[in-house]
Amino acid sequence: MPNIVLKIDVDTFRGTKEGVPNLVRILKQHQAGATFLFSLGKDHTGWALRRAFRPGFFQKVSRTSVVEHYGIKTLMYGVLLPAPDIGNCTTEMRAVADAGFECGIHTWDHVVWHDNVRQRGKDWTCGQMQQAQQKFQQIFGHTPATHGAAGWQMNEHAFVQLDQFGMQYASDGRAMLTDDGSLANPEAGPYRLKVGNEVKSCIQMPTTLPTLDELLGRTVNCQELTSSTIAAHILDLTKNLRDHVFTLHAELEGQKLAPIFEELLTGWHKQGYRCISMADYFNVIKDKELPTYPLSWASLPGRSGELVALI
């Protein structure tokens, strides 16, 4: 039976308080598994406005209605409003684990990590990751099993740290996609990462499907992808059955885009998929012979900037 691994990135205070409980309810209703990856430090979403000068930023903002989905208050955190501490949302986070879902680390400070990690050294990188590790253990009472990098941004020191944490699997990068969101390499999937001359022990599960914010508002194959047509487009990408990793966001699919996510869950069930967590998928692939690929970077259709990508 093919699998859709559901990886949920939780970026903000509002996403943790509102989007996460909504997603737990939806997943329970559809009997779907998932992994929730939490940001654990302060919500400095407002600092992301500094990306305004990057190529493609305004195009994405105009397509995806950032203000509508994130809320003006969230966009002011760290700028005109104090940055709230997401790590204080212990009730909401523990409720996810109590509901039977896997929980892991997304990042300490989402904007700080996303905008800085590629240029930073070992001490800064490990310091950020260790803060997240300690806060996770404080909240959940155990060490996290997995990690999914904010914005798919990492550096070589971060991958070394995953091994030092003892994490056996993570989802820190993407598989390359064509303009319509299909896989550039139909064989792309889990792999072992080679950094320098060393192959890391932590298995990488790259996201193999486009995210909703990468597709919404774009014209693909002469059709504009709207909230009414986007689910059908993604389901067309999954009609040939194979394992996939799909990344969603508590701020999007957990709130205004929830109906689209429910449409996808229903469609994937009809196609014959089972929706599972990263932990479940690790148990499927852990004894398989996996390919090894070097650390590489690339840009994807519908997203500004480069990210860790399986080329």
pLDDT digits (tens, 9 = 90+) for 221-235: 999 999 999 999 999
Q: What is the mean pLDDT of the chain?
A: 92
58 Rama sector, left if φ>0, alpha if ψ -120 to 50, beta otherwise = alpha
- Per-residue pLDDT for 58 more than 50? no
- pTM recorded for the entire structure: 0.91
State residue 44's pLDDT score. 80
State residue 75's pLDDT score. 62
The per-residue pLDDT for range 68-80, each reduced to its tens digit, is 545 566 565 555 5
- Judging by DSSP bridges, how do beta strands 219-220 and 223-224 pair with one another? antiparallel
- Per-residue pLDDT for 236 more than 80? yes
**Nearest Cα residue to 43 out of 91, 114, 111:** 111
- Per-residue pLDDT for 50 more than 90? no
- Per-residue pLDDT for 271 more than 90? yes
The per-residue pLDDT for range 193-231, each reduced to its tens digit, is 999 999 999 999 999 999 999 999 999 999 999 999 999
Q: How confident is the model at residue 83 (pLDDT cuts 50, 70, 90)?
A: confident
**Nearest Cα residue to 271 out of 216, 225, 234:** 234
**Nearest Cα residue to 233 out of 214, 251, 249:** 214
Residues above pLDDT 90, as percent of the chain: 86
What are 287's two structure tokens?
């004894």
Q: How confident is the model at residue 67 (pLDDT cuts 50, 70, 90)?
A: very low
- Per-residue pLDDT for 124 more than 60? yes
- Per-residue pLDDT for 52 more than 70? no
State residue 267's pLDDT score. 98
The per-residue pLDDT for range 244-268, each reduced to its tens digit, is 999 999 999 999 999 999 999 999 9
